[in-house]
């Protein structure tokens, strides 16, 4: 079971869009996929059109098993919604260090493993973010094609390196360029900087900016339901193939370089 936290502390980079459509692309490719909304904003839950407010909040508060919070999305895809009380997890005081391991233990207790688990992380390094990082074997970092996103990537890599040193285990890291506009010179320059500093982590496929990726969540649909013939659907199909192929290669981890 490959557990992948989709993470970036900078907002507006397409983190939820990537989680939403990549999970569906993997499911359509025949894999059993679990998508977990670990962001109290609940945007992934809304994008999937989930109406049940219960979800990960009950699991992390200790009131439910993870399997009890599943919502069926078809094609071998299961969703765990955020839940209305998820933000309160950040305020948990009881339990000490064990609080950060609750999601991992919930995943370990699943009666049957999935091929892929994708966790949509909050834009912070709080308790919810730590649960996602501890539970994950891999980290997928969406980065938009602008200078601030590039600067945020360097900062995030340093933060992750510190966390991993404390945990005593590194995670495989992947970078995906999202919301990318090839016609913009600055975006191409950012891509070259990322290739220079994080070449081993950069996945080949770029997710191009398009309005349909912003529209589809308002209908509670992925791109494959909203406009399956659009080039954005092809982008995510290829990204899914990249991720599958990357998992079959020897593990590589990018250096904690400064971009």
Structure confidence by residue, pLDDT tens digits, 196-216: 989 999 999 999 999 999 999
* Highest-pLDDT range among 51-65, 78-92, 102-116: 102-116
Distance CA 152, CA 141 (A): 11
pLDDT at 252: 39
DSSP letters along 11-58, please? SSS-HHHHHHHHHHHHHHTT--EEEEE--TT-HHHHHTT-----SHHH
Kindly state the average pLDDT of the residues 125-143.
Answer: 93
Distance CA 132, CA 102 (A): 9
236 near 21, Cβ under 8 Å? yes
Banded model confidence at residue 247, pLDDT cuts 50, 70, 90: confident
Distance CA 213, CA 218 (A): 10
- Burial per residue of 232-253, b for 16 or more beta-carbon CB atoms within 10 angstroms, e otherwise: bbebbbbbbbbbbebbeeeeee
Strand duo 70-74 + 77-80: pairing: antiparallel
- Asked whether residue 253 carries a pLDDT value surpassing 50, the answer given is no
Spacing of C-alpha 166 from chain mean position: 22
- Asked whether residue 79 carries a pLDDT value surpassing 80, the answer given is yes
Query: Distances from the Cα of 215 to the Cαs of 14, 139, 210, 226, in angstroms?
Result: 13, 26, 9, 9
pLDDT at 258: 38
Long-range contacts of 186-193 (CB under 8 A, 24+ apart): 186/145, 186/146, 186/147, 187/145, 187/146, 188/145, 190/143, 190/145, 190/146, 190/147, 190/149, 190/150, 191/145, 193/150, 193/259
Alpha helices (H) along the chain: 15-28, 43-47, 56-60, 102-108, 127-135, 147-167, 185-198, 211-215, 223-226, 231-247
Pick 111 or 95 by higher pLDDT: 111
- Asked whether residue 173 carries a pLDDT value surpassing 90, the answer given is yes
Kindly state the average pLDDT of the residues 90-99.
Answer: 70
Please tell me the pTM assigned to this model: 0.91
Kindly state the average pLDDT of the residues 26-48.
Answer: 95
Closest CA to 157 of 253, 256, 252: 256
- Asked whether residue 250 carries a pLDDT value surpassing 80, the answer given is no
214-234 residue pLDDT tens:
999 999 999 999 999 999 999
Kindly state the average pLDDT of the residues 164-176.
Answer: 92
Kindly state the average pLDDT of the residues 236-242.
Answer: 97
Banded model confidence at residue 94, pLDDT cuts 50, 70, 90: low
pLDDT at 81: 94
35 near 48, Cβ under 8 Å? yes
Banded model confidence at residue 4, pLDDT cuts 50, 70, 90: very high
pLDDT at 120: 97
Distance CA 169, CA 95 (A): 22
Kindly state the average pLDDT of the residues 75-102.
Answer: 83
Average pLDDT, the chain: 88
Burial class (CB in 10 A: 0-12, 13-18, 19+), 206: buried
Pick 253 or 160 by higher pLDDT: 160
DSSP letters along 114-127, please? -SEEEEE--SSSSH
């Amino acid at each position: 079971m490959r557990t992948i936290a989709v993470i970036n502390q900078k907002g507006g980079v397409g983190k939820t869009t990537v989680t939403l459509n990549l999970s569906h692309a993997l499911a359509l490719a025949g894999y059993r996929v679990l998508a977990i909304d670990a962001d109290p904003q609940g945007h992934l839950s809304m994008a999937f059109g989930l109406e049940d407010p219960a979800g990960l909040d009950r699991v992390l508060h200790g009131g439910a098993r993870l399997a009890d919070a599943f919502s069926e999305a078809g094609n071998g895809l299961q969703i765990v919604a955020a839940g209305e009380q998820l933000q309160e997890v950040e305020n948990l005081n009881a339990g000490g260090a064990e609080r950060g391991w609750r999601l991992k233990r919930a995943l370990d207790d699943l009666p049957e493993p999935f091929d892929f688990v994708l966790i949509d992380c909050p834009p912070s390094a709080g308790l919810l973010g730590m649960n996602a990082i501890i539970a994950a074997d891999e980290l997928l970092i969406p980065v938009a094609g602008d200078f601030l996103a590039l600067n945020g990537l360097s900062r995030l890599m340093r933060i992750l390196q510190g966390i991993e040193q404390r945990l005593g285990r590194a995670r495989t890291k992947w970078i995906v360029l999202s919301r990318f506009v090839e016609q913009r010179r600055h975006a191409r320059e950012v891509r070259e900087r990322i290739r220079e500093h994080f070449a081993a982590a950069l996945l080949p496929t770029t997710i191009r900016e398009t309005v349909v990726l912003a529209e589809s969540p308002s209908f509670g649909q992925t791109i494959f339901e909203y406009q399956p013939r659009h080039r954005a659907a092809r982008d995510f199909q290829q990204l899914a193939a990249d991720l599958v192929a990357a998992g079959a290669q020897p593990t590589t981890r990018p250096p904690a370089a400064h971009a």
